[in-house]
């Protein structure tokens, strides 16, 4: 259905409503209007990595893990599967007249905020720290979720617009100050791509203020940029209970009616919360016009018509059997395998099951379901922890011993026991094992959203980059035994791994790998599949490398602006093979020019695997403007492609670097062409000194003049 037709039908339907009815439809829990045959509809749905909070669904790896796969095509396919499960559930729920929260077709995903600081608890909901990677993955997700059918398969939502990445404890009163350059260069590009390329149906505002304006009531963000500059045609929704922050915390208004008026007059159509209950009072006080209320209702009903909620659609026949079907579970398995990042391997991996008699599986995340899921997750009908995955793989071939080793963050596992009550058992298990798989990290109770975690002392954020002391003690206890150790980190953010790098034979970053992730992890550990993920974030050596958490200037943050060496760099990840780029050449400069007067360029890349294992890897191209004073400090990612290379063989592939990659942003926030000389770096990593040190490989350099 064309948007024009959907809007025409929406206008006609809304015209038959009273003003009170129209205002009532701007709540996330929109009530039924029985006289018009309109059922109730709850706009609040979640699908960050699977249909969430609505019962059984395929639970894919957390978003940060999917980002590590650097596989936009697979993310798009997975998003289509999520939409199919959402439709299947909606078809059944609505047939039973169950219109409860989380059971609609408007999903408040993806989160395309930039993970600028590793302390932020919600960073694992994002696609990492790079605007280009976030844009490509976000566009793929939105297109996959919304589909290309006659009607929209499901409606995606870009959140949290726009400058939002902690601290969680301050978000309701915090003012994020960002320069015009940082806005255009870092904080806005992903949102712009989702609007202009993927035509995302909804955008959600953030809790905080940006440069003085509450994001959910910001004329600058919503009207000037989103609607006027980017031509956004969908609906805008507040974050939940964010509008009441206007008068309770930001103190930019004095009453709920004033807050409601500020939000709707700025262009916020839908209120997740209850402040829009005061819209009619705002109208009576002359703060809001009837036209503003009507326009918001029309936008919302345009979305409902685009979803075909009042018509028979091609998706009505998607049956409940689509939920957790074999195809979706298989895709989750593939994504888990692609997401795993191997940070260190002295040759111990892959493990040879024929040479091992006893495997020690140790750690608080080894047999933890929570560590599989991350936050904003659905419910799986089956969970396979790392311990269970290894046990199943080794059955009949090796014995598996297990010890929890320690609590996730508490001093003891048993209330009446002494501190460190499982450390001795962990050492015993290690002594009796040929190899130890040590599973440490965090889960959603330690890093996540304010109010959702048990980490009340930091509201879901981290205070530092260290693991909890209970786990640091466990690492020391296991290391003291002297057995070979594979350290598996299950976390959604950067952790200081200096001790693990010094003491252990291998380090695997597993993220939050999905409900059945243990099966996939075991297959990678034992060599059925080569790890090939790349870090979508920088692992720092410590907080001293970072500015203050509340400082939103990008200077010194992320791989694009950092001045020191990383512990593990963005874009880094080892495989069981050894893939290097042996040749790269510019083969075409498009005759067409983009709005900046710059062409797309096509690069042909030859990659060879000199190792003994077949493997996937990720070709990465980084660009550096060598003329402009406004260029980003370090080379920035501008193209990537996942490839598969058999041992001893080479492959050729082509990548396109878009003209936009050659632009710079000046101090006034204007993106433009400046200069004509550029350097492209083509490899399986970024061209920083630390990546070269870790891999003993150099990317191929190309000089380009445009």
Catalytic residues, by residue number, are: 239, 447
Both structure tokens of 137? 């993955």
Q: Which positions ≥6 away from 57 have C-beta within 8 Å? A: 50, 51, 82, 85, 89, 323, 324, 378, 379, 380
Q: How far apart are CA 596 and CA 664, in angstroms?
A: 10
Q: What whole-number distance in Å separates Cα of residue 190 and Cα of residue 137?
A: 9
For the record, the structure tokens of 558 come out as 């992320």
**How would DSSP label each residue in 465-533?**
SSPPHHHHHHHHHHHHH---EEEEEE-SS----HHHHHH-SEEEE--S--TTHHHHHHHHHTTSS----
| Alpha helix segments (H runs only) across 307-385 | 326-339, 370-373
> Facing residues of 652 across strands?
606
User: SS3 breakdown of the chain: % helix, strand, coil, rounded to 5?
Assistant: 35, 20, 45
| Distance separating alpha carbons of residues 79 and 142, to the nearest angstrom | 7
Residues 6+ apart with CB under 8 A from 633: 560, 561, 563
CA distance 180 to 434: 57
Strand order in the sheet with 358-362: 341-345, 506-509, 485-490, 435-441, 358-362, 399-403
The distance between the two most distant Cα atoms of the chain, rounded to a whole number of Å, is 79
User: Is the CB of residue 215 less than 8 Å from the CB of residue 164?
Assistant: yes
DSSP for 50-65, please give it: BSBSSSB---PPPHHH
105/54 Cα distance (integer angstroms): 12
Please tell me the distance from the alpha carbon of residue 353 to that of residue 397, in angstroms, as a whole number. Answer: 7
Residue 20: is it exposed, middle or buried by C-beta count within 10 angstroms (0-12/13-18/19+)? exposed
Sign of the C-alpha dihedral, residues 548, 550, 555, 558? positive
| Residues present in the chain in total | 706
**Phi/psi of residue 649, each to 5°?**
-120, 170
């Amino acid at each position: 259905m064309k948007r024009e037709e959907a809007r025409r039908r929406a206008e006609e339907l809304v015209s038959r409503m009273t003003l009170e009815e129209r205002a009532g439809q701007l709540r996330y829990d929109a009530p039924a209007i029985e006289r018009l045959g309109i059922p109730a509809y709850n706009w609040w749905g979640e699908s960050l990595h699977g249909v969430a909070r609505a019962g059984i669904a395929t639970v894919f790896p957390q978003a940060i893990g999917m980002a590590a796969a650097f596989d936009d095509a697979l993310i798009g396919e997975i998003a289509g599967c999520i939409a199919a499960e959402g439709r299947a559930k909606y078809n059944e729920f609505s047939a039973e007249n169950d219109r409860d929260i989380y059971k609609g077709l408007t999903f408040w995903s993806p989160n395309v905020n930039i993970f600028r600081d590793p302390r932020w608890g919600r960073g694992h909901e994002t696609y990492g720290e790079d605007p280009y990677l976030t844009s490509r993955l976000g566009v793929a997700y939105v297109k996959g979720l919304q589909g290309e059918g006659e009607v929209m398969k499901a409606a995606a939502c870009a959140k949290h617009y726009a400058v939002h990445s902690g601290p969680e404890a301050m978000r309701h009163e915090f003012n994020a100050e960002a320069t015009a350059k940082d806005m255009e260069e870092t904080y806005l590009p992903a949102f712009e791509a989702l609007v202009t390329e993927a035509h995302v149906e909804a955008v959600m505002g953030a809790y905080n203020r940006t440069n003085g304006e509450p994001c959910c009531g910001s004329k600058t963000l919503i009207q000037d940029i989103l609607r006027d500059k980017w031509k956004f045609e969908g609906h805008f929704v507040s974050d939940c209970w964010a509008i009441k922050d206007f008068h309770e915390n930001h103190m930019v208004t004095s009453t709920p009616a004033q807050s409601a008026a500020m939000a709707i007059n700025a262009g916020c159509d839908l209120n997740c919360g209850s402040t829009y209950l005061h819209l009619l009072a705002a109208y009576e006080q002359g703060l809001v016009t009837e036209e503003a209320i009507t326009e918001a209702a029309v936008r919302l009903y345009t979305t409902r018509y685009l979803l075909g909620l009042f018509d028979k659609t091609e998706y009505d026949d998607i049956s409940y059997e689509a939920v957790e079907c074999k195809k979706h579970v298989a895709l989750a398995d593939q994504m888990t395998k692609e997401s795993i990042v191997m940070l260190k391997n002295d040759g111990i991996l892959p493990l040879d099951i024929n040479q091992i008699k006893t495997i020690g599986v140790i750690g608080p995340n080894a047999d933890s379901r929570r560590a599989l899921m991350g936050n904003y997750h659905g419910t799986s009908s089956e969970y396979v922890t790392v311990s269970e995955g290894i046990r199943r793989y080794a059955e009949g071939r090796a014995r598996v011993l297990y010890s929890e080793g320690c609590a996730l963050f508490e001093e003891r596992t048993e209330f009446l026991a002494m501190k460190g009550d499982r450390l001795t058992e962990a050492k015993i298990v290690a002594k009796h094992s040929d190899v130890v798989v040590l599973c440490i990290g965090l889960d959603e109770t330690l890093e996540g959203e304010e109010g959702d975690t048990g980490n009340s002392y930091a509201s879901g954020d981290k205070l530092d980059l260290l693991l909890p002391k209970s786990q640091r003690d466990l690492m020391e206890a296991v290391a003291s035994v002297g057995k070979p150790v594979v350290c598996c980190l299950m976390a959604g953010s950067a952790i200081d791994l200096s001790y693990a790098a010094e003491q252990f034979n291998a380090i695997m970053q597993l993220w939050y790998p999905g409900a059945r992730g243990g099966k996939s992890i075991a297959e990678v550990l034992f060599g059925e599949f080569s790890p090939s993920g790349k870090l979508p974030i920088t692992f720092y050596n410590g907080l001293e490398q970072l500015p203050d958490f509340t400082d939103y200037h990008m200077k010194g943050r992320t791989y694009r602006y950092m001045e020191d060496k990383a512990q593990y760099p963005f874009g880094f990840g080892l495989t069981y093979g050894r893939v290097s780029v042996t040749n790269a050449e510019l083969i075409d400069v498009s005759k067409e020019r983009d709005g900046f007067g710059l062409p797309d360029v096509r690069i042909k890349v030859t990659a060879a695997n000199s190792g003994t294992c077949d493997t996937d890897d990720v070709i990465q191209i980084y660009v550096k403007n060598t003329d402009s004073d406004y260029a980003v400090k370090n080379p920035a990612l501008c193209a990537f492609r996942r490839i598969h290379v058999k041992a001893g063989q080479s492959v050729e592939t082509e990548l396109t670097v878009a003209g936009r990659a050659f632009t710079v942003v000046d101090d006034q926030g204007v993106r433009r062409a400046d200069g004509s000389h550029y350097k492209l770096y083509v490899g399986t990593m970024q061209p920083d000194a630390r990546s070269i040190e870790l891999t003993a490989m150099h990317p191929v350099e190309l000089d380009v003049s445009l």
